Amino acid sequence: MTSKETEFNQASLEAWTKAAAKSAPGGNVDALNWQTPDGITVKPLYTAADTRDLPYANTLPGFEPYLRGPQATMYAVRPWTIRQYAGFSTAEESNAFYRKALAAGGQGVSVAFDLATHRGYDSDHPRVTGDVGKAGVAIDSVEDMKILFDRIPLDKVSVSMTMNGAVLPVLAGYVVAAEEQGVSQDKLSGTIQNDILKEFMVRNTYIYPPAPSMRIIGDIIEYTARNMPKFNSISISGYHMQEAGANQALELAFTLADGKEYVKTAISKGMDVDEFAGRLSFFWAIGMNFYLEVAKMRAARLLWCRIMKGFNAKNPKSLMLRTHCQTSGWSLTEQDPYNNVVRTTVEAMAAVFGGTQSLHTNSFDEAIALPTEFSSRIARNTQLIIQEETHITSVIDPWAGSYMMEKLTQDMADAAWKIIEEVEAMGGMTKAVDSGWAKLKIEAAAAEKQARIDSGKDVIVGVNKYKLKTESEIDARDIDNVAVRDGQIARLNLIKQNRDDTLVKAALAAITAAAQDNSGNLLDLAIKAVRLRATVGEVSDALETVYGRHRADTQKVTGVYAAAYDSAEGWDALKKEIDAFALEYGRRPRVMIAKLGQDGHDRGAKVVATAYADLGFDVDIGPLFQTPEECARQAIENDVHAVGISTLAAGHKTLVPAIIAELKKQGADDIIVFVGGVIPRQDYEMLYEAGVKGIYGPGTPIPASAKDVLEQIRAAQK
C-alpha cells in the first residue's frame, strides 16, 4: 500500500468515525462494539488495518495451516455429506427411517442410541425401565445391529455412531453385523464418537472412570488403525459442550485439548502419530452466533495444525482437521416452533461457510419430542436446497479476505489458545476434567446465558419477544416404551437360549482378565465375544467387574445467574418473598433438583439449581441416574418441600408418575413435584392428573418458575 493510499484510508476512517458518532449512544463509537460471551470484542467496522499483521490471512485451502479448508477444491468438486442423525424405538423402525432418508437424498447414516445402550445396560435391567427405546434406538446384541443395517450396504454407506460409554460392544456389534452381511472390516467407512472426556464434562453417558476409559480409547484407535483403515476411530466432540452451555471459545479450546490428550494416549501405546492421526475427526455444534461459528471452524483447523506439529506429525493428513457439524438442538424453541426452520437454516449456512465435511440439520420439533417424518424431511431438504439451489458450493471459503472474518478468526484462535495453555498448566485435559474445573467453567457459561435470556438482554424470537398469544399444537412422535422394552427382552431371551453359554462365558472372562492385567486389545476381545452373541450389558459388566462405575460429583456454581440477570426489580421482589417465607416457617423453601433414569443431560438441572440458590432457596441436587425410589428416599431424608424433575430424554411418562407414587408410598405425598424440560404439550394433562404441580417447558423464565414453585410450596404448608 502506498503512503498516499494509507493517508487516504486514515482520513476516510476518521471521517467515518465522526459520522458514526452522531448516531452512536452517547456519541461514543465504542458503544457499538459487541462484547461476545467469549470475551472477544467485535467492532461494527473493520478495515485493511485490522488484517495487516495477521500471519495466515493469505493462505490457500488444502495447504498448511488449512485455515481455509482441508481440501484444495472443497465444495467446488465435492459438497459436504448430508447426514440424518436418528434412532428411535426399535432397530426395525430406525432401519426403515434410514433407508427412506437415503432414498430421499441422505448420503450417510448417523445412529442415535437409547440411554440404556449408552450406559451399557441391556433392556431387561431394572434401572432402565423408563429409558428403553426413548431418545434413540435400543441395541442389546449383534442381532439388533443386523436388523438396524438390514438392506443398507455397509461397504458403500458410511455410518456415524454417537457412542462413548458402551463403545466397545456397540462398535463390535457393527463390525460383526458387517461381517455377517459379507463386508470385511477394511471396507467399513464412518466414525465412532469414542470421546469419553467430554462425557465427564457435559453429557454424562459414561460408564467407567476416566483412567480406564482412556485405555479403551487407546485400544480402539490401535485396532482400527491396523484393521479398519477407512474408519474414523474417534470423533472429538465439542457439540455437547456448546449444548451444555459452553461459548464458542470454550467449546473450541476444550475440544482441541481433548484431542491432544487422545493423541498422547495413542502414542503411549507405542504407535507413531502418523499411523493414526489421519483418521481422527471432530464434531462441532453450530449455534446462532453466525460470525463466531464460521470463525471458530476456521480457527480450529489453524490450531489443530499447530498442535499436531507439536507431536512432530509429518503426513499432511495428520495435520488437517476434518469435521462433522450439527445444528444446535439447544437453540430450538418449544414456543412458535416453525421459527426453528429458520434457525436451522442460518446455522447450516454457518457450518457450510466454516467448511464442514458433513452436516446434520436438526428438525424443527426437537424441542418438543423426537422428530417426525414430516419435520425430518424439511431438515434434510434444507441441506439439499443449500447444496443444489444457491451456488454457495461454487466458491471455496468465500469469507476469505473479509477484514472482519480474518480478524475474528485470529481473535477466536487466540482466545481458545489461552484456555488450552491453562489446561496444559493443569497437566492436561484428563486432570482438568477430573478436578471438576472444566465442567464448572461450562456450567457458569450456561447460567450466564440463561440469565441473559430470562432478563430479555438476549432476544429469542417467540420466547421473550414477539410472543404468540396462543400456541398451536404440533404433532409429536410418541414411543411406547413398555412395548419396545417387552420386545427387546423377548429377543434377548431368544439369543441366550440359542447360544453356547460356555463359549460366551470364556470370552467375557478373557475381557475381564485383559482389563485386570492391562493386556491384549479390548476391542479385539469384544468382537470375539459379540460374535458368540454376548450382549452389550454382558460385555460392559465384564469390564465393570474391574473398573467399577464412575460416580460424578453434584457441584453447582453460585452467583453467576444473579450477576447476569438484568431485571433487578422483579428479582429483588422475589427474593423478599422467599425471605418472608423463611421468617414465617422458620426455614427457607427447600427444593431438590433431580434427574431420573439414565438421562445425563444436566444443563437445565444445573442452571435451575444455580438460579434457585441465587434467589434464596435451599437447593439439593440429586446424583445422576437415580431410580424413582432412590430419589424419593433422598427427598424425604433431606426434608425438602419440593422435588423438581429435569427431563430431556422422553422418559417423563414413565418416571414422573413413578416418583409421585414412591413419595406417596414412603409417606411423603406432601412433597410437591414439578417438572421441566422437553415435554410435548399433549402430555401435560396426563402429568397433572398424576399429581404434578407445575410443568415448565423450554423457554420458561426461571424466576417465573421459581415464583410458581414458591406459591405451590406455600399452598402445601396450609
Residue 25 buriedness (CB in 10 A; 0-12 / 13-18 / 19+):
exposed
> Taking Cα atoms as reference points, which of 294, 278, 282 lies closest to residue 323?
282
Catalytic positions, please?
A: 85, 239-240, 595, 599, 601
Residue 537 confidence (pLDDT): 97
| Rounded-to-integer distance, Cα 445 and Cα 210, Å | 24
Q: Please state, rounded to an integer, the average pLDDT across all residues of the chain.
A: 92
| Rounded-to-integer distance, Cα 163 and Cα 596, Å | 21
Tell me the pLDDT tens digit for each residue of 21-71: 888 888 888 899 999 988 899 999 999 889 988 988 789 999 999 999 999
Tell me the pLDDT tens digit for each residue of 641-673: 999 999 887 788 889 999 999 999 999 989 999
- Which of these ranges, 113-122, 130-139, 305-314, 368-377, has the smallest mean pLDDT? 368-377
Residue 562 confidence (pLDDT): 84
304: which 3 cell numbers? 489443530
Q: Which long-range contacts (CB under 8 A, 24 or more apart) does 28-36 make?
A: 36/247, 36/248, 36/289, 36/292
Is pTM beyond 0.85? Reply is yes
User: Higher model confidence: residue 574 or residue 569?
Assistant: 574
| Rounded-to-integer distance, Cα 665 and Cα 663, Å | 5
Please compute the mean of the pLDDT values over residues 180-205 and round it to a whole number.
Answer: 93
Residue 105 pLDDT class (50, 70, 90 cuts): confident
Tell me the pLDDT tens digit for each residue of 222-273: 999 999 999 998 999 999 999 999 999 999 999 999 999 999 999 998 999 9
Please compute the mean of the pLDDT values over residues 530-535 and round it to a whole number.
Answer: 98
527: which 3 cell numbers? 468382537
pLDDT at 681 > cutoff 90: no
Tell me the pLDDT tens digit for each residue of 289-347: 999 999 999 999 999 999 999 999 999 999 999 999 999 999 999 889 999 999 999 99
pLDDT at 145 > cutoff 60: yes
Residue 186 pLDDT class (50, 70, 90 cuts): very high
